Structure 1
C-alpha cells in the first residue's frame, strides 16, 4: 500500500474502504447522498474513501449532465459505489488481503490488534473460498 497512514492501512485492510483503491484507473459511477451521481475515472483514492475523478460527469437531480475535468468526492458524501460488471471483485479482494503486512525484521511481539486483524483476514479469505465453491456449477 502506497504512502498510507497507519489508520488508512487499517481501514483498507478491515473495511470496504479498499474499493476505490481497487477501482483506481477504472470508470465508475458513484451515487451521492444528495440524490445526485458522478461518473468518471478514479485517479486518486485514499484509505478514507475520498476519491478524485478525472473526466467526470456530474448528473444532478433533474438528470442534467455537467462535465468536469477533475471532481473531488469526500468520503461522507458517497452513498453507493457501482462496481463494474467486468471486474471480479472476489479475486481483487483476495489479492488485496493476501499481501502480508509489512513487519519489522526484528522479532517483536504482535499486539492484540494485529492478531485480531490477521484472524479477520483469514476469516475473510475462508468466506471468499467457500463462496467460490458455492458459485461453481454442480456437475451431475
Structure 2
C-alpha cells in the first residue's frame, strides 16, 4: 500500500480526491482541460489526484489515438474522471472515510496547564461537596 502524507490522507478521506485512489488497478477514461482524453489503467495515484496510467491511449482534439506504456496526468489537468458503472462508488468512499479509533487520552502526556486545570477542578468539586455537607449539618 502507498504511503500518504497527513495532508494527502486528509484530502483522500474528506474530498473526492479519493476517486483515483479507489480506481487504482482499473481501466478508466479521463477527460483533460485541453479538450483531450486519456484512457488507461491507473497504476498509482496520490491524494492530490496526480495519476500515473499504464497501457494508456492518448486521444487528441482531432480524435487521433496515440499509445503510451506509461502516462502521467497532473491534478490540475483533470476535468472529468469517468467512473466505471460496475463500481459501487458510494460503498468505496464510505470504506475510505472510516477512521481508526482515537488514541486513549488517559495514556497521553498531559501538559502543565491541563494538570493545573484538573487540580483546580478537583479542588472546586471538593469545596462544593464540603459546602453541601456543611448545609446539611
Please give the range of the TM-score, normalised by the shorter of the 2 chains.
0.7 to 0.9
Superposition pairs of residues 24-35 of structure 1, within 5 angstroms: 24-35=24-35
1:8 aligns with 2:8: yes
CA deviation map 1:77-126 (0-9, x unaligned) = 000000001000011111111242675884379xxxxxxxxxxxxxxxxx
Question: Which of 1 and 2 has greater Rg?
Answer: 2
- TM-score normalized by the length of structure 2: 0.73
The 1:108/1:10 distance shift into structure 2, 3 A limit, reads farther
SS at match of 1:16: coil
CA distance in 2, matches of 1:75, 1:35: 15
Deviation at 1:13, TM superposition (A): 1.0
Deviation at 1:2, TM superposition (A): 3.3
In structure 2, the residue matched to 1:128 is none
SS at match of 2:55: strand
CA distance in 1, matches of 2:104, 2:84: 37
User: Where in structure 2 are there 5+ consecutive unaligned residues?
Assistant: 111-137
- TM-score normalized by the length of structure 1: 0.72
The 1:15/1:58 distance shift into structure 2, 3 A limit, reads same
8 Å contact 2:59–2:66 — kept in the other structure? yes
Superposition pairs of residues 1-140 of structure 1, within 5 angstroms: 2-100=2-100, 103=103, 106-107=107-108
Moved over 6 A (4+): none
Give the number of equivalent residue pairs.
109
The 1:40/1:102 distance shift into structure 2, 3 A limit, reads farther
User: Where in structure 1 are there 5+ consecutive unaligned residues?
Assistant: 110-140
SS at match of 2:66: strand
